[in-house]
Amino acid sequence: MAFDRIKVDPNVCGGKPTVRGLRITVDFVLKLLGDGYTAEQIIREYPELELNDVYQAAKYGAWLASERTTAVQ
């Protein structure tokens, strides 16, 4: 799956995934969604974002969560 709106740059936000290289991190968008904000409310509060940015951040989060992890003992 291609995430053309998600950028990872070690010089931006400490290397956290951001939306289109803006200083808005994917985890921030996901926290807003988790707090009950709708995509429309997020883009109203952060007008530099587009609706597809929010949707792709959610898809990226789901993709990361779907990765298999192993317990370290």
pLDDT at 7 over 70: yes
Name the pLDDT band for 1 (thresholds 50, 70, 90): low
SS3 of 22, please? coil
Supply the pLDDT for residue 2.
Answer: 87
Q: Is residue 19 within 8 Å of residue 26, measured between CB atoms?
A: yes
Residue-wise pLDDT tens digits, 12-70? 999 999 999 899 999 999 999 999 999 999 999 999 999 999 999 999 999 999 987 66
Q: At what angle do helices 26-34 and 51-66 cross, to 10 degrees?
A: 90
Which pTM value belongs to this model? 0.87
